[in-house]
């Protein structure tokens, strides 16, 4: 049984982490919105629906100043949404994601969570229902759901390579899988085929560390997975480079062909690049598929 | 010390551990480099990938070799290897160093001393007492520790004479007084001398004898002699070894009084020849100026021969019969003689009896018929003693009765009355031409010009002796010049006048040549010993062993016969001796003497060559090599283990390093560019000595001084320049700093000409012997001796130590002394004029106007000034704060020096006296 004090400490630690993750995710989401507005491009539900009085929780940016300037009441212009979509997220919490090759780069898991949560914020703000795959957090609307998501994202999984959760998929929903996809490919295939069976489409975002791409190792080395379940010893790491990269490319090809077969989209993200690029890609990937 | 293949080892047993290397090989071989543990999520993709080669779990062979080499280098380095180890002088007893120390060893004396130093050092290592004995100045040797004697040995000098029988006897006596046995190293000069065998036996009885001698031939010059108008300098050598090309320099003073090389001559001694003659065909004028001959590149007293009266200008007394016709220059009987003889001889005129005591070489009587009895006797005595009486005929002689019936003792022939006139208005026949000269005639070989005509002459009476006395005839066979000998002298009669009255002979060049022949054959002979009995000769200048002339100082005089016959020694040193007006040179090699034969040593004596291969300790180098190899091993091991920084980083680091390298200075600059740059900016210069270390320090010193000037004064010099005296123009530099090294080459005559021009046009040379720490108090080091050689041909005024009121003490800073890295010796500058006096109330004398052309000191200023490019001092000066103070003083001296060069005596101006007084604080 967990000691209350320990629980409290844990809770506080988690709580301390949440706002940080949230804040960063909000900021990330804000940049995307700003970008969309500035370009005056069609987005999710461009059509006018109604002006509603501004409520607590609306950011100033959401105010419609043209309408609000006519009177003393501030209004928010809401757009029309024909169908509220359901988007399910799966962010890999496995130990393999807790890796960074250099202090300059974020951990993969850190990046994956941030992108996932930012996506969720965008979707919630857009009026979609967001949840996790599986039964742990069913899709809902509203800001409270974002807090819940943040809390779920803060739970590390002790396993080395997590498998995509594919249970309780809601038919014809959208799904986003963020992972390094270094684990068992069969699980991914199973998840995707199952999703395709239910008419669920979505995007795979592969988050990799630069060193996993370039394999800059030399000499006699013992490679270990993060949790230590798998290890491999080599005498000349440099010799393995090309073969490793071949295998990585093969894995990616496999993912790509899987996506083609199931109508999903495959994106790549390296932790050395800014997260915004990945977020925009993901946003457009869903945008394209939600219409 | 054990010697293996030319390399000696201090602790050879340590080499046994080399046997363990193969074991090490096996051990190292089996151990692969430790693996690195890495967290890597992509490991799943690696699963199942096999390494290509299985052998790589062993250390690669080259890494193994690297490590083995490092270990081997450590082992060998610790074993104390020494390259060119000095062979052990066996035995433990005392060691005696015997030096011949004669002039023959002077050219390689520094090598000899270096060898001796090594022997002493070796003996010091073995704890043996050492003593030395110079055979040219034997004293009883005293055995001392090697350390105590090393300094004395380093200061030994050779003497200008050869070891003689007496000296060896003294040496043997000195050795007899020694007790016990001792080993001997004999530094022979390679020549044989009397008593060598005795001394050798004595030394061999006392212990082991080892001889070290130079195998190169000893060269010598015998006194020059004049033959047929040319100067012959005999060159001798001790060994007929190979062909040698030798150059003889004739040194003397030019009309301006500057010492310079007047002529050079070459001789080739073919293999097998011991001697040869250098022929110098010189105008008499030049010949008379020669003071010495020397062999180029041979610094020894034997390679120098001093010229004495034998080559001097002759004194010729002119006496004419008609002294009453004043003003008719061209008719003067002496005019043409005057013109012909003036360039080559000193002419005397005056009453005959007044001139004869001056002992002229030649007396010319032009148309003098009768002499008083006293004059005649004096003249006859003078001729008998070797004089040359040259008589010319003329109207008076023709009309007199001299030598008419009986041959006059001062006339070579009897004369017929009246003489004859040919080709005149009142006579028959054509004017006569000269017949070609006989083979026996001293004029033989001279070209007879057809244009010479004789219109009148005095006629010789036919006598039995006439034929043998005629040395020139007219075309009709009548005698024109006759000659007879009188004891040692001779009397020559020209049967024509000395002016153009009777013939055109005095107008021709032939006349001059004939006179020259006659004068040459009468050159003053070297006196015999008997003639000098009773005379006392005082030395004026003496030669040192290196062939340099030194002031004789207080050396005692010698008896005339001794001067000629005695062998050279401490009491009779080679040099120039004077008695009254006469000067005689006593050379190392006398007339007809040759260089002594090389020494012959018995077979039982070990004879080593004087080859100086330096003992080089290799241990340090090997240990450094091991350290480098181990550093490489670290890099290689890291590279193998994959922990080395990525190559990319290394490459960029290398690139950065390259970028920060100083820009390439090798841009070709033409001489004109350099000249323009130097002329437009102030550049301090130093003389390149050929010794890289000294040159670097000098350059750094000039740089340091330039920086100091830049910071402290309005002088803003450019980067300093090194000056090659042979090639570079000196005019651009106000100051030349000349560090003196003992083995720097003497500049050529052209370079000296340039230096003298530089000094005359206001340049300054700062000579720094850099030995202020050891010299001084009357002692001189090798640098100072070298400086004497270097500076001898320079046009340097008298010098004195810097007086307290010299302008150098106050051109910028007020200074009292002038320390450099050493604070030892006095600094010498141009002496104040003798009439400089201190005026009451003035702190300074009004000294010489202008800049002292040289400053000579030994305080190693450049070393104190030297800074590295980043401004740090290169060499330590003194200790602690006082050392830094000394460096500051050295810099202040440098500032004052450059200020002095640039501003001259500006600070001598009285205007500044009150202010200076104020600052001095009284």
| Chain A positions in Cβ-Cβ contact with residue B46 (cut-off 8 Å) | 223, 232, 234, 240, 244, 247
Look at residue B829 in the predicted model and tell me its pLDDT.
85
Second-level CATH architecture of B219-311 = Sandwich (2.60)
Touching check for B643 and chain A: CB below 8 Å? yes
| Chain A positions in Cβ-Cβ contact with residue B637 (cut-off 8 Å) | none
Yes or no, beta carbons of B40 and A212 under 8 Å apart? yes
pLDDT at A33 over 60: no
> DSSP of A168-197, one letter per residue?
TPPTT-EEEEEE---S-HHHHHHHHHHHHH
Q: pLDDT of B116-131, one tens digit each?
A: 888 888 888 788 888 8
Domain B315-440+457-512: CATH class, spelled out? alpha beta
Confidence band (pLDDT; 50, 70, 90) for B642? low
Look at residue A254 in the predicted model and tell me its pLDDT.
92
Measured between CA atoms, how close is B871 to chain A, in angstroms?
Answer: 41
A224 → closest Cβ in B39, B52, B56: B39
Confidence band (pLDDT; 50, 70, 90) for A249? very high
Domain boundaries of chain A, sorted by first residue: 47-80, 86-290
Burial label, B646 (beta-carbon count in 10 A; 0-12, 13-18, 19+) = exposed
Confidence band (pLDDT; 50, 70, 90) for A253? very high
| Chain A positions in Cβ-Cβ contact with residue B37 (cut-off 8 Å) | 221-222, 224
Question: Within 10 Å of residue B427's Cβ, how many Cβ atoms?
Answer: 13
Q: pLDDT of B426-465, one tens digit each?
A: 677 778 888 888 887 878 778 888 888 888 888 888 888 8
Residue of chain A with shortest Cα separation from B33: A220
- Between the alpha carbon of residue B307 and those of residues B221, B313, B580, the distances in Å are 12, 12, 17
Confidence band (pLDDT; 50, 70, 90) for A168? confident
Of these ranges, B22-31, B195-204, B638-647, the one predicted with the greatest mean pLDDT is: B195-204
Look at residue B344 in the predicted model and tell me its pLDDT.
67
- Best of B31, B35, B40, B645 to disrupt the A interface (most A CBs within 10 Å) is B40
Average pLDDT over residues B467-480: 87
Average pLDDT over residues B302-313: 74
ipTM comes to 0.72
Question: In CATH, which of 3.40.920.10, 3.40.50.1820, 3.40.50.12140, 3.10.450.50 is domain B671-920?
Answer: 3.40.50.12140
| Chain A positions in Cβ-Cβ contact with residue B43 (cut-off 8 Å) | 223-225, 230-232
Question: Within 10 Å of residue A22's Cβ, how many Cβ atoms?
Answer: 20
pLDDT at A35 over 50: no
Percent of chain A at pLDDT exceeding 90: 10
A 67-96 residues inside an 8 A Cβ radius of B = 96
| Chain B positions in Cβ-Cβ contact with residue A248 (cut-off 8 Å) | 42, 45
Yes or no, beta carbons of B44 and A225 under 8 Å apart? yes
- Best of B39, B41, B51 to disrupt the A interface (most A CBs within 10 Å) is B41
Does A22 or B68 have the greater pLDDT score?
Answer: B68
| Residue limits of CATH 2.60.40 in chain B | 219-311
Which of B179-188, B808-817, B903-912 shows the lowest per-residue confidence on average (mean pLDDT)? B903-912
Alpha helix (H) ranges present in A2-61? 4-39
Residue of chain A with shortest Cα separation from B46: A244
Touching check for A190 and chain B: CB below 8 Å? no
Touching check for B635 and chain A: CB below 8 Å? no
Contact status, residue B136 vs residue B167, Cβ threshold 8 Å: yes
Contacts 24+ apart (CB under 8 A), A32-37: A32/A118, A32/A122, A32/A276, A32/A279, A32/A280, A32/A283, A33/A61, A33/A122, A33/A125, A35/A280
Q: pLDDT of A89-123, one tens digit each?
A: 898 888 888 888 888 888 888 888 888 888 888 88
pLDDT at B9 over 70: yes
Which of A177-191, B492-506, B658-672 shows the lowest per-residue confidence on average (mean pLDDT)? B658-672
Q: pLDDT of B525-548, one tens digit each?
A: 566 666 666 678 888 888 888 888
pLDDT at A290 over 50: no
Look at residue B667 in the predicted model and tell me its pLDDT.
47
Does B833 or A95 have the greater pLDDT score?
Answer: A95
Touching check for B57 and chain A: CB below 8 Å? yes
Contacts 24+ apart (CB under 8 A), A45-54: A45/A79, A45/A80, A45/A81, A45/A82, A45/A126, A45/A127, A46/A79, A47/A79, A47/A80, A48/A77, A48/A79, A48/A80, A49/A78, A49/A79, A49/A80, A49/A81, A50/A77, A50/A78, A51/A75, A51/A76, A51/A77, A51/A78, A52/A76, A52/A78
Q: How far apart are CA A233 and CA B36, in angstroms?
A: 9
Chain A with chain B: Cβ pairs closer than 8 A: 109
Confidence band (pLDDT; 50, 70, 90) for B42? confident
Contact status, residue B750 vs residue B881, Cβ threshold 8 Å: no
A236 → closest Cβ in B40, B43, B56: B56
Of these ranges, A5-19, A173-187, B255-269, B386-400, the one predicted with the greatest mean pLDDT is: A173-187
> What count of Cα atoms within 13 Å lies in the side-chain half-sphere of residue B47?
13
Which of A14-23, B242-251, B315-324, B830-839 shows the lowest per-residue confidence on average (mean pLDDT)? A14-23
Touching check for A243 and chain B: CB below 8 Å? yes
Helix (H, G, I), strand (E, B) or coil at B96: strand
Yes or no, beta carbons of B45 and A99 under 8 Å apart? no
pLDDT at B480 over 80: yes
Q: pLDDT of B271-285, one tens digit each?
A: 888 888 888 887 766
Average pLDDT over residues A143-170: 83
Question: In CATH, which of 3.20.20.140, 3.40.50.410, 3.40.50.1370, 3.40.109.10 is domain B95-215+600-613?
Answer: 3.40.50.410
B 157-186 residues inside an 8 A Cβ radius of A = none
Q: pLDDT of B705-762, one tens digit each?
A: 999 998 898 888 888 888 888 888 888 888 889 998 888 888 888 888 888 888 877 7
Look at residue B519 in the predicted model and tell me its pLDDT.
62
Yes or no, beta carbons of A220 and B34 under 8 Å apart? yes
| Residue limits of CATH 3.40.50.880 in chain B | 315-440+457-512
Residue of chain B with shortest Cα separation from A183: B44
Confidence band (pLDDT; 50, 70, 90) for A41? very low
- End-to-end CA, chain B: 67
Q: pLDDT of A194-233, one tens digit each?
A: 888 888 888 999 999 998 888 888 777 888 888 888 888 8
- Best of A93, A162, A183, A223 to disrupt the B interface (most B CBs within 10 Å) is A223
Question: In CATH, which of 3.40.50, 3.40.190, 1.10.3470, 2.30.30 is domain A86-290?
Answer: 3.40.50
Residue of chain B with shortest Cα separation from A231: B43
pLDDT at B661 over 60: no
Measured between CA atoms, how close is A210 to chain B, in angstroms?
Answer: 11
Residue of chain B with shortest Cα separation from A234: B51
Residue of chain B with shortest Cα separation from A249: B45
Helix (H, G, I), strand (E, B) or coil at A41: coil
Yes or no, beta carbons of A236 and B52 under 8 Å apart? yes
Average pLDDT over residues B78-87: 73
């Amino acid at each position: 049984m967990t000691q209350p004090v320990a629980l409290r400490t844990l809770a506080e630690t988690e709580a301390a982490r949440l706002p940080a993750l949230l804040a960063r995710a909000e900021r990330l989401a804000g940049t995307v919105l700003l970008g969309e507005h500035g370009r005056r491009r069609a987005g999710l539900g461009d059509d006018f629906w109604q002006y509603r009085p501004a409520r607590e929780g609306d950011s100033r940016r959401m105010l419609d100043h043209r309408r609000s300037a006519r009177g003393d009441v501030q209004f928010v212009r809401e757009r029309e949404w024909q169908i509220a979509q359901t988007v399910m997220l799966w962010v890999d919490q496995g130990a393999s994601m807790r890796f960074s090759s250099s202090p300059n780069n974020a951990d993969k898991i850190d990046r994956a969570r941030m992108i996932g949560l930012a996506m969720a914020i965008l979707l919630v703000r857009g009026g979609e229902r967001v949840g996790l795959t599986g039964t742990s957090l069913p899709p809902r609307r509203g800001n409270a759901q974002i807090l819940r998501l943040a809390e779920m994202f803060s739970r590390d999984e002790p396993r080395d390579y997590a498998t995509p959760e594919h249970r309780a998929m809601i038919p014809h929903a959208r799904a986003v899988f963020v992972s390094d996809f270094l684990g068992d490919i069969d699980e991914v295939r199973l998840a995707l085929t199952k999703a395709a069976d239910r008419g669920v489409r979505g995007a795979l975002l592969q988050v990799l560390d630069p060193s996993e791409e370039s394999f800059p190792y030399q000499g006699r080395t013992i490679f270990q997975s993060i949790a230590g379940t798998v290890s491999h010893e080599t005498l000349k790491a440099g010799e393995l480079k090309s073969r490793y990269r071949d295998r990585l490319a093969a894995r990616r090809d496999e993912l790509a062909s899987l996506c083609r077969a199931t109508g999903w989209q495959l994106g790549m993200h390296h932790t050395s690049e800014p997260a915004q690029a990945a977020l925009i890609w993901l946003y457009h990937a869903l945008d394209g598929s939600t219409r | 010390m054990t010697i293996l293949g030319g390399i000696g080892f201090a602790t050879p047993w340590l080499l046994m551990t080399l046997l363990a290397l193969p074991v090490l090989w096996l051990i190292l071989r089996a151990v692969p480099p430790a693996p690195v543990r890495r967290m890597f999520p992509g490991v799943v993709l690696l699963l199942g990938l096999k390494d290509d080669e299985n052998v790589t779990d062993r250390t690669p062979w080259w890494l193994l070799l690297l490590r083995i080499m490092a270990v081997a280098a450590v082992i060998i380095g610790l074993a104390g290897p020494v390259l060119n180890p000095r062979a052990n002088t066996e035995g433990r007893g005392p060691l005696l160093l015997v030096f011949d120390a004669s002039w023959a060893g002077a050219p390689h004396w520094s090598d000899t001393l270096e060898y001796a130093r090594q022997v002493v050092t070796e003996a010091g290592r073995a704890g043996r007492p050492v003593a030395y004995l110079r055979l040219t100045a034997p004293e009883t040797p005293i055995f001392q520790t090697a350390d105590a004697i090393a300094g004395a040995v380093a200061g030994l000098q050779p003497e200008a004479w050869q070891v003689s029988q007496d000296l060896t006897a003294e040496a043997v006596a000195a050795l007899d007084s020694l007790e016990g046995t001792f080993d001997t190293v004999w530094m022979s000069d390679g020549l044989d001398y009397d008593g060598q065998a005795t001394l050798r036996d004595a030394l061999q009885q006392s212990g082991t004898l080892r001889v070290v001698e130079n195998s190169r031939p000893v060269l010598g010059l015998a006194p020059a002699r004049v033959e047929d108008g040319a100067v012959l300098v005999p060159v001798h050598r001790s060994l007929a070894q190979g062909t040698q090309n030798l150059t003889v320099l004739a040194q003397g003073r030019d009309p301006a009084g500057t010492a310079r090389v007047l002529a050079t001559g070459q001789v080739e001694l073919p293999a097998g020849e011991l001697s040869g003659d250098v022929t110098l065909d010189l105008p008499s004028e030049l010949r008379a100026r020669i003071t010495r001959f020397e062999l180029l590149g041979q610094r020894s007293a034997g390679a120098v021969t001093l010229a004495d009266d034998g080559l001097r200008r002759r004194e010729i007394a002119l006496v004419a019969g008609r002294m009453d016709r004043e003003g008719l220059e061209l008719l003067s009987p002496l005019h043409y003689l005057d013109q012909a003889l003036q360039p080559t001889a000193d002419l005397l005129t005056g009453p005959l009896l007044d001139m004869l005591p001056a002992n002229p070489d030649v007396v010319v009587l032009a148309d003098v018929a009768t002499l008083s009895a006293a004059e005649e006797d004096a003249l006859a005595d003078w001729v008998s003693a070797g004089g040359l009486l040259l008589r010319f005929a003329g109207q008076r002689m023709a009309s007199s009765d001299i030598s008419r019936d009986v041959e006059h003792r001062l006339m070579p022939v009897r004369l017929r009355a009246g003489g004859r006139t040919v080709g005149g208005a009142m006579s028959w026949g054509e004017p006569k031409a000269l017949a070609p000269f006989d083979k026996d005639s001293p004029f033989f070989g001279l070209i007879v010009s057809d244009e010479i005509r004789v219109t009148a002459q005095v006629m010789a009476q036919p006598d039995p002796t006439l034929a043998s006395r005629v040395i020139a005839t007219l075309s009709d066979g009548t005698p024109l010049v006759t000659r007879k000998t009188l004891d040692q002298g001779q009397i020559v009669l020209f049967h024509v006048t000395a002016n153009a009255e009777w013939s055109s002979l005095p107008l021709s060049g032939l006349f001059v040549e004939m006179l020259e022949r006659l004068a040459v054959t009468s050159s003053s002979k070297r006196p015999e010993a008997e003639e000098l009995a009773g005379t006392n000769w005082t030395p004026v200048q003496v030669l040192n062993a290196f062939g340099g002339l030194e002031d004789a100082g207080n050396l005692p005089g010698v008896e005339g016969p001794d001067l000629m016959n005695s062998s050279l020694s401490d009491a009779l040193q080679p040099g120039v001796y004077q008695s009254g007006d006469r000067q005689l040179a006593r050379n190392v090699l006398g007339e007809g003497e040759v260089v002594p034969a090389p020494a012959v040593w018995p077979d039982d004596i070990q004879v080593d060559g004087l080859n100086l291969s330096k003992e080089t300790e290799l241990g340090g180098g090997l240990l450094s090599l091991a350290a480098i190899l181990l550093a490489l091993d670290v890099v290689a091991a890291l590279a193998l283990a994959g922990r080395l920084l990525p190559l990319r980083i290394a490459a960029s680091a290398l690139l950065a390093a390259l970028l920060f390298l100083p820009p390439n200075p090798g841009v070709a600059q033409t001489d004109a560019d350099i000249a323009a740059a130097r002329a437009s900016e102030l550049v301090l210069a130093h003389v390149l000595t050929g010794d890289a270390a000294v040159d670097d320090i000098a350059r750094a010193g000039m740089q340091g001084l330039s920086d100091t000037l830049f910071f402290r004064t309005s002088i803003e010099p450019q980067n300093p320049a090194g000056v090659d005296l042979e090639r570079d123009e000196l005019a651009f530099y106000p100051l030349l700093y000349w560090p003196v090294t003992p083995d720097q080459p003497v500049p050529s005559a052209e370079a000296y000409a340039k230096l003298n021009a530089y000094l005359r046009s206001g340049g300054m040379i700062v000579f720094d012997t850099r030995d202020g720490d050891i010299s001084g108090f009357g002692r001189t080091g090798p640098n100072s001796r070298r400086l004497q050689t270097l500076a001898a041909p320079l046009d340097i005024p008298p010098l004195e130590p810097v007086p307290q009121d010299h302008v150098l003490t106050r051109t910028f800073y007020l200074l009292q002394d002038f320390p450099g890295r050493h604070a030892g010796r006095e600094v010498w500058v141009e002496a104040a004029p003798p009439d400089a006096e201190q005026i009451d109330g003035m702190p300074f004398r009004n000294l010489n106007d202008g800049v002292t052309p040289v400053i000579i000191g030994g305080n190693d200023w450049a070393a104190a000034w030297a800074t590295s490019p980043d401004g740090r001092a290169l060499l330590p000066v003194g200790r602690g704060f006082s050392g830094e103070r000394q460096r500051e003083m050295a810099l202040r001296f440098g500032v004052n020096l450059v200020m002095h060069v640039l501003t001259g005596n500006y600070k001598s101006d009285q205007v500044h006296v009150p202010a200076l007084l104020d600052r001095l604080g009284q």
